Amino acid sequence: MMRQPVALITGGRQGIGQAIVKQLAKVGFAVAFTARNSNDDCAELIAYCESVGSRACYIPNDLADISGHCALLDQVISWGGGLDCLVNNAGISSLARGDLLELTTESFDQVMTVNVRGTLFLSQAVAKLMLETSAECYRSIITISSVSALMASPERADYCMSKAALAMFNKTLALRLAGDNIGVFELRPGIIKTSMTAGVANRYEQHIQEGLVPAKRWGIPEDIASAVVPFAQGYMAFASGSAIELDGGLSINRL
């Protein structure tokens, strides 16, 4: 009997990550999710997954601590019996928005350490694990990036650069794993209503109503979570290496 497919979602306690955990649980994945610290959200999220007939577990983990990646994967394998889908969702924004000419080394180093270095080396470890084990289910590595991979914002240049780096990583990893039928994808959310955008919500609200987003609404975490499913289940396998904008038309060039 084929085991239940297992997904690992980093930063899965809240926001987009939480929506992805719920959506993958609903379509039949056993879901392990990480966060640096636990709170009541973790227990509630596990209870939700169980209510829709899935299994879930929370594993404390700091993505920036590369020395903890192997222990994280050991826990996932011990709990789930395998690993079929990695969703790289964890990430941070700039420490502070401001003039590019005032960008600090502290902010640059912290953003790159989490968003690029942590994501890259966890993905590397997962890819090696997948190559070393037999495939019982379709396997994929999905990175939740941002339209900032394409759209420049001088007020948070370090964040934009980190997402641009992930775009190239997605392509190179896809090339490396294509022959092994391991799909690699990048999803680029636009302006999504989460705690990360709460501090600039009033500013964005006005811009959205003025036409910044052609769809004239905020994105919500469920918009991203729903898009993850076909990539995780293998329906988009031949599109490996692709990047998809999920932004209500925000990033489309317009006259």
User: Does 25 fall in a domain?
Assistant: yes
Range of 128's domain? 6-242
Tens digits of pLDDT across the chain (255 residues):
678 999 999 999 999 999 999 999 999 999 999 998 878 889 999 999 999 999 999 999 999 999 999 999 999 999 999 999 999 999 999 998 899 999 999 999 999 999 999 999 999 999 999 999 988 899 999 999 999 999 999 999 999 999 999 999 999 999 999 999 999 999 999 999 987 777 777 888 888 989 999 999 999 999 999 999 999 999 999 999 999 999 999 999 988
User: Does 90 fall in a domain?
Assistant: yes
- The CATH number of whichever domain residue 120 belongs to comes to 3.40.50.720
- Cα four-point dihedral sign 137, 143, 144, 146: negative
User: Does 251 fall in a domain?
Assistant: no
3-state secondary structure of 151: coil
Q: Whole-angstrom Cα distance, residue 170 to residue 142?
A: 9
Strands 56-60 and 85-88: unpaired
Of the candidates 138, 149, 141, the one whose C-alpha atom is nearest the C-alpha of residue 176 is 141
User: Does 72 fall in a domain?
Assistant: yes
